[in-house]
Amino acid sequence: MKILKFGGTSVGSAQRMKDVAKLVLDGEVKIVVLSAMSGTTNSLVEISNYLYKKNADGANEVIGKLEAKYAAHVDELYSTAEYKEKGMELMRERFGYIRSFTNNVFTVFEEKEILSQGELISTGMFNLYLQEQGVESYLLPALEYMRIDKNNEPDTAYIRENLRALLDKNQGYEIYITQGYICRNSFGEVDNLQRGGSDYTASLIGAALLADEIQIWTDIDGMHNNDPRFVEDTKPVKELSFDEAAELAYFGAKILHPTCVLPAKVNNIPVRLLNTMDPQAAGTLISGHQCQDRIAAIAAKDNITALRIKSGRMLLAYGFMRKVFEIFESYKTPIDMITTSEVGVSVTIDNNRHLDDIVDDLKKYGTVEVDKDQVIICIAGDFDATKKGYASKIFNALHDVPIRMISYGGSSHNVSILVSAEDKIATLRALSANLFD
Ligand code: ADP
Ligand code: ASP
Ligand code: MG
C-alpha cells in the first residue's frame, strides 16, 4: 500500500482537487492524506488571534470571508445539484462550529479545535467529490487514530492499533482519505502535529502500516539543492539518504516537516517528493541508499538564539557540560548546535520561551552572552571523515561572511554554521555559487 500526501497548494482550488483526483485514481488501493486548502490554516490562526483578544467582530469578518471562498469552491467543484447541496451542508456544519467559539471563553483548547477545521473541510470536500465521480472512497477520521503522548511525541503503538482496526473494519474501498496535521493528545483533546505537520501524518501512517512508499506531493519538483525562496537556479536533488533528508528538514527545508523522515527511516520506507503541477518530473527519492562523496543540499533555519557560557573553571572540570545541559533540559528546551573550547561553550536554541530563566541559571557557572536573530545554515551530504576537501570548499565560499559558530563531525552528513540573520541570503547564495556551479 502507498501513502500519498497532498499539501495545501496541491488542493488549493476546486481545479487542483480535480487534478489530485485524477492522480490518485489508478486502480490501486491507497491512503490519501490531505492538508487544508492553502491559506486556510493561516486564516484559522488569524481568527484565533482575534478571539484571544476578545475581538469577535474581527473574527467574524475573517470567518465570513473564508466561508464565502469555500462557497465558491463548492460551486466549482461539484457538477450536480445534489452534491453542491452536500458540499454546502458540510460548510454550514464546519463554519457553524467555528462560529460557536466566538462568544465563549477562548483558550488554547478552543484554538486547537479551530485549527483542526481546515483539514476536516478539505478531506470532506474531496471525499464528496470522489463519491460524485462514482469512486468508492472512505473518509478515515484522523481524530480516531492519530495521537500524541504526554511529551507531544506520536503514540506509535496507539496509532498502529487504531488505524489498522479502522481499516480492517472498513475494507473494500479504493481510496482512503484522511486528514493531515490533526490528532488528539494524551487527554483525548483535539491537537495537532505543528504547522506543516501533514507530512508527519503521512510518514506516521506509512510506518504504522509498513507501507511500500510514502509520497509527498507538493508545488515543486522535489528537494532542491538550496532554498528556492532565496536562491535562483536551484536544482532538484534526485536522491537523498534518510539521514541527509532528516538534516535538511530539521534545519529548515520547508518542503518537509522537521521530524517526518524518522518514522520512514526506522521502518526503511522510501519517501518520494513529487510535484502535483508536474507529475511526470522525477522529484526526489529518499531512501536508505547513501550517495557517496558529494554535497547534496543546503538549508537554513531561522530564529536561532546563541548562548555562550564562559567559565574559568571549565578547564579540566568534568561535569561542567552535564550541568549546562541539565539547565536546558529542566526548561524542556532542545539544543540544536554546540561548540566547545577550553574556557567556554556555545549552544543554540530555537525556542526563547524560557530564555531569561535559562540565562539566570547558567550564570551560576560563568558569564553568559546571548546573540539573538541568528540562522543555522546546514550543508548536507556525505562527509565521511576519510573524505578530503569539503571543509575547505565550504569555507572558501564564505570568505566574506562573518561566522559565529561552526559544527562539523556531529554526523557524517552535516556541516552547520551559524550566521546573523542579515547575512543569511548572502551565505546561501555564496554557498550555491561555489559548491554547485
Ligand atoms: P505543502 O503545502 O505542499 O506542504 P510547503 O510550502 O510546505 O508545501 O513546501 C513546499 C515549499 O518548500 C516550496 O514551494 C519551496 O518554496 C519551499 N522550500 C524550501 N526549501 C526547499 C528546498 N530545499 N527544496 C524544495 N522546496 C523548498
Ligand atoms: N494545514 C497545516 C498548516 O498549514 C498543516 C500542513 O499544511 O501540513 O500548517
Ligand atoms: Mg508543508
Of 240, 357, 362, which Cα lies nearest the Cα of 294?
240
Question: Each residue of 403-428: pLDDT tens digit?
Answer: 999 999 888 899 999 999 999 999 99
298 alpha carbon – ligand 2 mean position (Å): 23
pLDDT in the model for residue 52: 97
pLDDT in the model for residue 320: 84
Question: Each residue of 100-117: pLDDT tens digit?
Answer: 999 889 999 999 999 999
Is the CB of residue 234 less than 8 Å from the CB of residue 224? yes
Please name the helix (run of DSSP H) or strand (run of DSSP E) that holds residue 427, with its range, or none.
helix 424-435
Strand partners, 368: 309
**Which protein residues have their CB within 5 A of the ion that is ligand 3?**
7, 196
CA atoms of 299 and 228, how far apart (whole Å): 10
Measured by CA distance, the residue closest to atom 10 of ligand 1 is: 255
Please name the helix (run of DSSP H) or strand (run of DSSP E) that holds residue 370, with its range, or none.
strand 367-381
CA atoms of 48 and 45, how far apart (whole Å): 5
Strand partners, 414: 380
- CA 112 to chain CA centroid, nearest Å: 17
Of 320, 419, 315, 299, which Cα lies nearest the Cα of 371?
419
pLDDT in the model for residue 383: 85
- 201: helix, strand or coil: helix
Measured by CA distance, the residue closest to atom 5 of ligand 1 is: 255
Is this structure's pTM higher than 0.85?
A: yes
pLDDT in the model for residue 409: 85
Residue of 181, 191, 216, 256 to mutate, ligand 2, most atoms within 8 A of C-beta: 181
Of 55, 81, 205, 93, which Cα lies nearest the Cα of 142?
205
Residue 53 Cβ inside 6 Å of ligand 2? The answer reads no
- 55: helix, strand or coil: coil
List strands edge to edge, sheet with 284-287.
137-140, 175-179, 30-34, 2-6, 213-218, 271-275, 284-287, 239-241
414 alpha carbon – ligand 2 mean position (Å): 27
pLDDT in the model for residue 318: 75
Residue 218 Cβ inside 6 Å of ligand 1? The answer reads yes
From first CA to last CA, the distance across the chain in angstroms is 40
Cell of 230: 532565496
Structure-derived torsion over alpha carbons of residues 395, 399, 401, 407, reported in degrees to the nearest 10: 20
What secondary structure letter does DSSP report for 166? H
Please name the helix (run of DSSP H) or strand (run of DSSP E) that holds residue 74, with its range, or none.
helix 56-77
Cell of 298: 543546503
Q: 81-99 vs 56-77: helix axis angle to the nearest 10?
A: 170
When pLDDT is averaged across residues 163-168 and rounded to a whole number, the result is 98
Is the CB of residue 118 less than 8 Å from the CB of residue 41? yes
171 alpha carbon – ligand 2 mean position (Å): 28
Flag the least confident range among 120-124, 316-320, 368-372: 316-320
Of 204, 228, 231, 208, which Cα lies nearest the Cα of 216?
204
Percent of the chain topping pLDDT 90: 89
Strand partners, 33: 5, 178
Report the DSSP pairing between strands 182-184 and 175-179.
unpaired
